[in-house]
């Protein structure tokens, strides 16, 4: 992961949190955080039913290709110190391409603005690296994520291939 992506962000609670690139050593934290999510939230995040992340999946997720994937996470405080409490990712990052985004937050971090700031940071990195825009699939029942996408200026349309999904896109201009 490129230098300069680590920084402090401020949550709605007025506290400062570390936003940083994900690390291979985060796999355990990622698994624990996933286990705190409701069944529906797990389905929203992975676009399918999965009760637990396997160690292999967590290790893969925590070891992205730095040339094509930007994954930033927020470290918790207090009882959650050192744990991942929110984060965002864009994959397929390359000049002239559409990058695919995803974002997540543990229940304890929902509504804090940390997931939004994580998503804004990875979107800006995709723009900086020459992507033409970002897009993501969102379940039509995920009102919170659809609202966030719209607040960030994304266009939201029905997925023609899956009636349960919406496609959120943010074009940076100048590409297809």
pLDDT tens, position by position, 103-152: 989 999 999 999 999 999 999 999 999 999 999 999 898 999 999 999 99
Average pLDDT, stretch 91-114?
94
Residue 162 contacts by C-beta under 8 Å, 6 or more apart in sequence? 137
Percent of the chain with pLDDT over 90: 73
Average pLDDT, stretch 71-87?
95
87 pairs with which residues across the strands?
A: 73, 104
Average pLDDT of every residue of the chain? 89
Is the predicted pLDDT of residue 49 greater than 80, yes or no? no
Q: What is the DSSP string of 17-46?
A: EEEEE--GGGHHHHHHHHHTS-HHHHHHHH
Helix, strand, coil shares, percent, the chain, to 5: 30, 30, 40
Strand (E) or helix (H) holding 143: helix 143-151
Task: Give the sheet arrangement for strand 69-75, strand by strand.
Answer: 7-10, 16-21, 69-75, 84-91, 98-105, 133-139, 165-171, 155-158
The pLDDT-based confidence of 176 (bands split at 50, 70, 90) is very low
The domains of the chain, with CATH numbers, are: 7-171 (3.40.630.30)
Residue 10 contacts by C-beta under 8 Å, 6 or more apart in sequence? 16, 17
Rg for the chain, CA atoms, rounded: 15
E-assigned strand segments in 43-109: 69-75, 84-91, 98-105
pLDDT tens, position by position, 25-40: 999 998 888 888 766 6
What are the φ and ψ backbone dihedral angles of 87, each rounded to 5 degrees? 175, 170
């Amino acid at each position: 992961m490129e230098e300069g992506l680590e920084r402090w962000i401020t949550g709605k609670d007025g506290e400062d949190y570390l936003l940083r690139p994900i690390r291979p050593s985060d796999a355990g934290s990622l698994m624990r955080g996933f286990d705190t999510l409701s069944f529906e939230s797990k389905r929203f995040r992975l676009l399918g039913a999965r009760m637990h992340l396997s160690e292999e999946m967590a290790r893969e997720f925590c070891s992205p290709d730095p040339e094509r994937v930007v994954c930033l996470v927020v470290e918790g405080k207090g009882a959650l110190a050192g744990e991942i409490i929110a984060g965002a990712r864009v994959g397929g990052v390359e000049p002239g391409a559409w990058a695919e985004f995803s974002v997540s937050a543990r229940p304890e971090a929902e509504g804090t603005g940390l997931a939004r700031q994580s998503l804004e940071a990875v979107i800006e990195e995709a723009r900086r690296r020459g992507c033409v825009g970002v897009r993501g699939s969102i379940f039509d029942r995920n009102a919170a994520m659809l609202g966030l996408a719209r607040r960030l200026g994304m266009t939201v349309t029905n997925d023609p291939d899956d009636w349960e999904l919406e496609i959120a896109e943010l074009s940076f201009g100048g590409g297809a």
